[in-house]
Amino acid sequence: MGRSARKPQDGFADIYAAQLRPRDASRVGEDARVLATAAHSRSPALGARGNDVAVGWIEEAPSGADPKSSRAYGAMFAWLAPNGHVASDPQRLPVAGDGFHTAIAFDGVGATLHAVLARAETDMIVLDGIDLTHDADVTAYPLVTLDGPPSLDVALGVVGPSLFWNDESADAESRRVRRATVRWTR
């Protein structure tokens, strides 16, 4: 599967997916828009659960949007068919508290799929964890609170139980990549 954001108009984009050939990464057939939205769609991420492929992305919230009354922004999620077209209705992923998700990363091993999302609250950033192994009862849980303002961009990575993120503390000499171990339970 390939992933890209297309530019239907200046400043706004939607997420597209396409099936790629393994030998040369050339496209098989046409790409397909995952979801047409009025918001800016960005930061696509792919994950797998067995042979099922998921795409997640961020619907960018405009400055001043109220997370309590707006369901159009935050992290979105959909399953893709083998041809790269959408196989399920895209849905907004749940949040574990106030604020909008601003980044997403997946990790899938065998029949499991986990997501970690950065969430901007009023005066901090929180990393939420979501177990997407089962399609029912998808719940977000807070994992870690980060130092830094909610406007901070957070780079995330998940590999098995290891969660990685950038620490952009005020002290330039203290900036580094951090790691935590997550014990995923159901």
Query: For position 44, what pLDDT does the model report?
Result: 93
Mean pLDDT, range 153-171, rounded to an integer: 85
Query: For position 46, what pLDDT does the model report?
Result: 94
Q: 122 versus 159: which is more confidently predicted?
A: 159
Query: For position 53, what pLDDT does the model report?
Result: 92
Domain extent, residue 15, equals 2-181
- Number of structural domains the chain divides into: 1
Mean pLDDT, range 88-97, rounded to an integer: 91
Query: For position 31, what pLDDT does the model report?
Result: 86
pLDDT of 4 strictly over 90: no
**What is the pTM for the complete model shown?**
0.85
CATH number assigned to the domain comprising residue 76 = 2.120.10.10
The average confidence (pLDDT) of the chain is 85
Q: 107 versus 63: which is more confidently predicted?
A: 107
SS3 labels along the chain: CEEEEEEEECCEEEEEEEEECCCCCCEEEEEEEEECCCCEEEEEEEEEECCEEEEEEEEECCCCCCCCCCCCCEEEEEEECCCCCECCCCEECCCCCCCEEEEEEEEEECCEEEEEEEEECCCCEEEEEEECCCCCCCCEEEEEEECCCCCCCCCEEEECCEEEEEECCCCHHHCEEEEEECCCCC
Query: For position 121, what pLDDT does the model report?
Result: 86
pLDDT of 171 strictly over 70: no
Identify the residue whose tokens are 């901090």: 124
Mean pLDDT, range 81-90, rounded to an integer: 89
> What does the pLDDT look like over 110-141, one tens digit per residue?
889 999 999 988 888 999 999 998 877 889 99
- Is 151 a member of any domain? yes
> What does the pLDDT look like over 21-40, one tens digit per residue?
989 999 888 888 898 888 88
- Is 22 a member of any domain? yes
Query: For position 3, what pLDDT does the model report?
Result: 46
Q: 169 versus 139: which is more confidently predicted?
A: 139
